[in-house]
Chains A and B, each alone.
Chain A
């Protein structure tokens, strides 16, 4: 069974840093792109970032580019979202999701249960 489990969400002050983790199991980690999506309180889903199967190519939403970094560690079957310069508007539930080919698409299945990041100003 394919599973993704996020961790690392926390309450943090504006300007601070946080690293989210997504541990995956049940599939060959290095064969698929992986994606982060978030949902702010009362808002819709927002695509955040994605990384290709090899980890060589990364993509970011304009709202986080230059502040967030996505990466993957094949030895740990885990991928990460390093978030720096956090702002109040980054407050959201962050989901990780598995892609179905080597490059990022919006064909995402399954998703993790999410981890809450709260940025206080």
Chain B
């Protein structure tokens, strides 16, 4: 069981919007920055969001991140078939002095 809780799967139609939630605690999300990654099996994970809301260069603005208290959310608008992948949130756990990832959410574009 992961320290960060994500829904196992979400789905939406092309062009629609989806939100992926990530729930933690005061020692994880509550007091540390959250990052989000996109992962296609067999490839290197790709950073989508860092420091809760910031996008690296090259990530389109239809990708967004937010954080409130001990939860964070990844938003993707204008869904495309190429968005179908696994998405992970990650943050530092101050109580364990270690990093943690959520269990991952598989996004299906219907």
Contacts and interface: CB of A to CB of B under 8 A. Distances in A.
Interface of A: 35, 37, 44-47, 50, 59-62, 95, 97, 100, 104-114
Nearest to B39: A45
A115 to B, nearest CB: 12
Interface of B: 2, 32-35, 37, 39, 43-47, 50-51, 56, 86, 88, 90-92, 96-104
B101 A44 contact: yes
Given A45-B104, A46-B101, A104 B43 contact: no
A1 to B, nearest CB: 13
Given A104-B92, A105-B92, A109-B56, A45 B97 contact: no
Contacts, number: 76
Given A44-B86, A45-B39, A106-B92, A111 B45 contact: yes
B101 A47 contact: yes
Contacts of A60: 98
Nearest to B97: A59
B44 A45 contact: no
A8 B102 CA distance: 27
A111 B33 contact: no
B100 A107 contact: no
B22 to A, nearest CB: 11
A35 B100 CA distance: 12
Nearest to A93: B42
Contacts of A37: 45, 99, 101
